[in-house]
């Protein structure tokens, strides 16, 4: 592909989206990712439609690879952009009705409409061994006029097995083995949730356990407030470490975390509105995007 071929035609963008969806195999592996259906329709520099559909797909998480030569950690480098082209994304949708992660079903439906975009070509690929990373797609004009929605749900009883599955690769990479992990969630008033958890991890001959609870308030504009946070352990060494960190733990109470700050795309902050989290038999998260 040469620079003037980007974005090219619908097939070119579909192939780029599929290649970009695959994780870096040196970091971790997701088995089943090739079963996700992707389709794109391009009209000149406008993206009429991009749909990523994982409905009915079963994904399994693999452990990180350890067969590559470690490299020194380098600061991030801003890629040199050699070509830009402006356009509009009429509809971008990601759905899963549901997708299974390690056998656990999650339902997701996210859509963005009428978003100003910029197609970018870099001087060289920004990720080693991934030629598709020479080409990029990002929001433009501060996302002016963009609108959208987000909805996700899962069974509350699946929270513990889901977190266990998600954390397993990290534990394997560190040589640790989780012996027990339980996480429960419950509604805490009209605008908050309570999360309780306990974990026991074994590393070689050492075993550590801890328990904790957090009460979190959720603002309609996507700001989370830690209303209460408590941690403890029956293990005397862990309890001593937690006692030393008591001041840091208490400092988290009352702290606000803006979810919008973590949703920046190409330097453009995606704003959330009407955020709502409910916990009953299901955990449901909904929001408007704009």
At 7-55, the pLDDT tens digits run 999 999 999 999 999 887 666 788 999 999 999 999 999 999 999 999 9
> What is the tens place of the pLDDT at every residue in 179-225?
889 999 999 999 999 999 999 888 777 788 999 999 999 999 999 99
79 & 163 share domain:
no
191 & 253 share domain:
yes
88 & 8 share domain:
yes
128 & 201 share domain:
no
Number of domains composing the chain: 2
Q: Is the distance from CB of 147 to CB of 139 less than 8 angstroms?
A: no
3-state SS class at 207: strand
pTM score, whole prediction: 0.84
12 & 111 share domain:
yes
- Domain of 80 in residue numbering reads as 3-145
Q: For residues 246 and 239, what is the distance between their CA atoms, to the nearest angstrom?
A: 10
CA-wise closest residue to 21 among 54, 55, 69: 54
Pick the last residue of a domain from 78, 111, 145: 145
Helix (H) or strand (E) holding 240: helix 236-244
Pick the last residue of a domain from 145, 178, 202: 145
């Amino acid at each position: 592909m040469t620079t003037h071929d980007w974005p090219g035609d619908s097939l070119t963008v579909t192939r780029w989206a599929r290649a970009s969806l695959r994780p870096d195999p040196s970091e971790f592996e997701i088995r089943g990712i090739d079963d996700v259906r992707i389709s794109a329709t391009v009209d000149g520099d406008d993206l009429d439609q991009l749909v990523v559909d994982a409905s009915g797909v079963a994904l399994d998480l693999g452990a990180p690879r350890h067969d590559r030569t470690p490299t020194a950690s380098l600061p991030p480098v801003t890629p040199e952009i050699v070509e830009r082209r402006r356009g509009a994304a009429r509809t971008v949708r990601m759905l899963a009705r549901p997708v299974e992660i390690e056998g656990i079903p999650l339902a997701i439906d996210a859509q963005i409409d009428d978003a100003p975009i910029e197609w970018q070509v870099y001087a060289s690929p920004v990720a080693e061994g991934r030629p598709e990373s020479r080409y990029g797609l990002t929001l433009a004009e501060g996302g002016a006029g963009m609108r959208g929605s987000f909805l996700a749900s899962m069974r509350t009883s699946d929270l513990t097995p889901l977190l266990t599955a998600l954390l397993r690769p990290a534990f394997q990479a560190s040589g640790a083995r989780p012996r027990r992990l339980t996480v429960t969630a419950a509604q805490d008033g009209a605008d908050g949730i309570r999360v309780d958890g306990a974990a026991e991890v074994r590393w070689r001959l050492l075993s550590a356990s801890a328990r904790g609870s957090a009460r979190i308030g959720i603002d309609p504009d996507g700001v989370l407030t830690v209303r209460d946070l408590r941690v403890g352990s029956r293990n005397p060494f862990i309890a001593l470490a937690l006692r030393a960190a008591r001041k840091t733990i208490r400092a988290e109470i009352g702290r606000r975390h803006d979810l919008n700050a973590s949703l920046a795309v190409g330097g453009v902050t995606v704003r959330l509105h009407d955020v709502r989290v409910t916990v009953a038999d299901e955990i449901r998260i909904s929001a408007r995007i704009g």
